[in-house]
Chains A and B, each alone.
Chain A
């Protein structure tokens, strides 16, 4: 059957907008955190948008040490730099400083959310190829999905039936010459095969708006858990009518924006004047979406207004939104050096997902502190859970191996809440350091004089380039956060 000529390139000359990104990245080694890390190379796609910027995925440019871009019909490689990176929604903007690079490139425009079953085309450089590849498919589902780059953030994502593979990442998915999304992750496993996702334009537009002030502020969150209110007895108990409205607040995260303003047991009736149905959906521009979608569209410093029922009395509560930092340790971090302190051959590191993946601890207490860090509000007492992860053997620590995997609670009777406090405790002069670990174990006792005498020996033997890194605290230490914890 002859194909009409006009429909062969429905999205126009995409080559004029597409770039191939080659990245040299360096991934930190959490088991030897003083090392710079292993060097790897990857290829991804990107596309030119207005303002001489190239959009791609955050995971394409994460931990990048050197970036180059190439374009169709040009033999040169151009050095590029990262402008903004948003790890929580897997988007990034890069640029090329070479004059005239963007001169012959066509910036792409963004569209809306594509219709279910409508056809889209994905562009990129899958499996390392050097020439542009196009695949087509239809829009299969529009839903909230886990973004695997951070592995804790959930946002809107669109599932498409077009084949995407490594190298497609960061490439545009188009319809009617407009970008409908950025290809970013796939799923292949026992349950499903060849499931591909793109980041839809509401998430992209939010990112572009967030950085307008020259800084990416991350997504904001309410920091609470809540549940449906479908039990008639519970509804009557709470003083609710049988009108299918309202959700019950379960836990309010103390480090979140709702702390002290919203209480467990409150019933949320509406958010920004959108009634909340008892299954936690709200109507937004004609669509039924989950309640957090209202918050998804907001920025740091914006507010939401809740109508609530507390002890059967209606109230109005305004909440200024911010990032809920304790969630961050549960996700991957990028573009930061691992934090650690080495003292007397003992390696202390704060607990986070990268650490858990590097060491795969079996210890029940450690697994519990990680798994329940937010839900049990462990961060209130231990904003950083400091673990004795490893021991570099030396005569001064030869009897200390049973303490491995322990969590530091106190040093010389002083509570240790952060790695900075640990480093400070070790630097203070004392005759003896008594480190109490959480739980029933014996104290770990060190003689600072012996540690000092062994210092150079241990550093040299194990090639420890630096004895500590206290940069990049995961905790968003704004003054308000400090007050809360």
Chain B
């Protein structure tokens, strides 16, 4: 019985090879690898529990693949190692295991580099170089492993290249879209896609129903690896403005554009961003970046890919700290700016878009649980959080740059109120936005801790945006009952401030 799967596998690989030979017109057929460049990656992790922020949720385990790169590094997708406690590499052929560290992780580009605690663990594995020459029409081979450790190769066709939102939904990155009929295995977290024995892309997501695969492309991987060489990982540059196509002749005429249709209309510029410093304004029409002209749909002509959205020039092509020249038309007059590219850190958001590996700050006061509003918290409502989570919070998250144009603050919320002597009558209240405590504006949990320590006539007065607008606690009672509250609800610590 044991030989049957091996035979089947052999047939499968042969068939693929034959099929590729029969169609010589197809460019760059994937070849059968001579050596194995994969390891298994086993991850145990624990997400933080934002509803009970002093604790972590039950641990999970994920099993995936990693692509072995030069210099003893292993490349995986970032979502694999999010909130990891322990990462282990496993050699496919021998089952030998070793602990590994996460060297660099970028959740926005969804890439992470792992390092085994002993470099020689990877000896004998031929590392993969990254290829960046994939074009539409190429065939890429998806590498997966059988339970036996044998390689399974499936081929697919690259059907398009486009700028796409990655899972964390911060910014847009280049992605390859492929059509592939692939077995969706539990190790499909990081599936390398290979061309000419070079790593062409990593699987981003796969829909087995439509057999459409999106992949993180070689250029994004190369950018990540180059950036990871530096002393401090800075992240991909952020596009710090929003824009709109200028297909509509009325809009072009309103913006003062004469001559041929071209460029994108700037609809907003992020506060305190490099784009503001450069001088970019709402209503400008960006006509080119560097030497690349932008058409009225927002595309430039890439030498390799053809037409693609210009944001690719700012993310994959350029690095943080680079200066790019931007040509705009303002009221019909041509102007030129130098934009110094920067990565926007999650700390620079009023409502941070994601948070992994870091415990959420919180503050418990007499049964009231305070948090800083974050999208990670909203995602506790599940995949349909946009409809399920408290709607005012979702609204504040989505429109944060409109609501708080100065930025530079956080939103403190009451997530829940645990019934206790000091909170009698308040226990049905939840999801409140804190505006003031003891008369002081609250723009962070630090502000809250400070304000709470200064009661007025023995009372702590909390003012909220939503009803009930005000809540009072007896400061002495809160202090006296703190230990009992902690014990009663098993709260390991009543606060965690940054």
Q: A-side interface residues toward B, CB under 8 Å?
A: 225, 227-234, 236-238, 248, 250-251, 264-265, 364-365, 367-368, 371-372, 375, 399-400, 402, 432, 434, 439-443, 445-447
A-facing residues in B445-498 (Cβ within 8 Å): 459, 461, 466-474, 477
Q: Does B229 contact A (CB under 8 A)?
A: no
Lowest 5 A-B CB distances belong to which pairs? A230-B425, A399-B248, A233-B474, A445-B250, A231-B425
Q: Counting CB contacts under 8 A, is B98 at the interface?
A: no
CB–CB B467/A439 < 8 A? no
Q: Give chain B nearest CB distance to A225 CB in angstroms.
A: 5
Pick the contact of B248: A225, A229, A400, A440 (CB < 8 A): A400
Residues of A within 8 A of B325 (CB): none
Beta-carbon contacts of B387-428 to A below 8 Å, as 1s and 0s?
A: 000011011001101100000000000000000001111100
Docked complex Cα distance between A432 and B251 (Å) = 11
Please pick, from B248, B401, B466, B472, the residue contacting A234 in the complex, using a CB distance under 8 A. Answer: B472
Residues of B within 8 A of A250 (CB): 467-469
The contact string, 1 if C-beta is below 8 Å from chain A, for chain B 41-69, is 00000000000000000000000000000
Contact A237 B459 (CB under 8 A): yes
* Residues of chain A lying within 8 A (CB to CB) of residue B205: none
15 inter-chain pairs at a CB distance below 8 angstroms, sorted by A residue, are A228-B425, A231-B425, A232-B424, A233-B474, A234-B425, A237-B461, A250-B468, A264-B469, A368-B391, A402-B244, A432-B250, A442-B267, A445-B253, A445-B254, A446-B250
Give a binary string over B347-363; 1 marks a CB under 8 Å from any A CB, 0 the rest. 00000000000000000
> What 0/1 readout, one digit per residue, does chain B (249-283) give for beta carbons within 8 Å of chain A?
11101100000000001011000000000000000
Kindly state the separation between the CA atoms of A230 and B395 in the bound complex, as whole angstroms: 32
Contacting residues, chain B, for A402 (C-beta < 8 A): 244
B386, CB-defined interface residue at 8 Å: yes
Residues of B with C-beta under 8 A to A368? 391-392, 395
Taking residues whose C-beta sits less than 8 angstroms from the other chain, chain B's interface range is 35 or more
Which chain B residues border A367 with CB–CB below 8 Å? 391
Given contacts A230-B425, A231-B423, 7 further A-B contacts (CB under 8 A): A236-B474, A264-B469, A368-B392, A375-B466, A441-B244, A442-B251, A443-B251
Given contacts A229-B425, A232-B424, A447-B250, contact A248 B399 (CB under 8 A): no
Judged by a CB distance under 8 angstroms, whether B183 is at the interface is no
**Max count, chain B CB within 10 A of own CB: residue among A264, A364, A365:** A364
- What residues of B have a CB within 8 angstroms of the CB of A227 in the complex? 467-468
Do most interface residues of chain B lie in helix, strand or loop, or is the interface mixed? mixed
Contacts A364-B398, A367-B391, A442-B265 given: A434-B254 contact, CB under 8 Å?
yes
Query: Please, which residue of chain A has its CB at the minimum distance from the CB of B386?
Result: A364
User: Is A251 a contact of B474 with CB atoms below 8 Å?
Assistant: no
The yes or no answer to B247 lying at the interface (CB within 8 A) is yes
Q: Is B148 part of the contact surface with A, judged by Cβ < 8 Å?
A: no
List B contacts of A442 (CB < 8 A).
244, 251, 265, 267
Chain A CB within 8 A of B242 CB: yes
A420 to B375, CA, bound (A): 40
Nearest Cβ on chain B to A337's Cβ, whole angstroms: 31
| B386 neighbours in A (Cβ, 8 Å) | 364
The winner among B248, B268, B386 for most chain A CB atoms within 10 A is B248
Inter-chain contact B474/A440, CB cutoff 8 Å = no
Residues of chain A contacted by B251 (CB below 8 angstroms): 399, 442-443, 445
Min CB gap B383→A, angstroms: 16
List A contacts of B254 (CB < 8 A).
432, 434, 443, 445
B402 partner residues in chain A, CB cutoff 8 A: 439-440
Nearest CB of A to B1, in Å: 50
Say yes or no: A237-B472 contact (C-beta < 8 A), given A440-B268, A443-B251, A445-B254: yes
Bound state CA distance, A322 and B394, in angstroms?
34
In the bound complex, CA of A442 to CA of B245 (Å): 10
